[in-house]
Amino acid sequence: MQNAEVERRERAIVAECRRRGIPFRVTSRYRSETKQRELYDAWIAGGRKGLPVGRPGLSTHQYGIAFDAVFPDKDRATVVKIAQDYGMVWFGEKDKVHFDIFGPNAWNALLRSVGAI
């Protein structure tokens, strides 16, 4: 289930982008372990080109604290700033559709601290 606070932030980001005329479409939110496994296995097998998929148990989607969205590249700086204003962190060029509450550096540090990676 999507975290209620992250869902509130997502709605606010969508509304702000709409207000500014930026097409912003959320494509993925919470994922069950089964769905995460399907996506990960397809990515590892090469059937899912492009964007990375986190290993099951390590994806912030499974904890309901992330969402993926598509938007025009020309609006990236503005969208990233809007997301930051609402407490969401863009994962960067390696996963350009992903936003969560940690960002890649903090999430990876957390996973390392508990021995998950």
Taken in order of first residue, the domains within the chain and their CATH numbers are 4-105 (3.30.1380.10)
pTM exceeds 0.85 for this model = yes
DSSP secondary structure code for residue 46 in this structure? T
- Of 16-25, 62-71, 87-96, 102-111, which range is least confident? 102-111
pLDDT the model gives residue 52: 81
Query: Residue 50: left (phi > 0), alpha (psi -120 to 50), or beta?
Result: left
Q: Is the pLDDT of residue 115 over 80?
A: no
pLDDT the model gives residue 74: 98
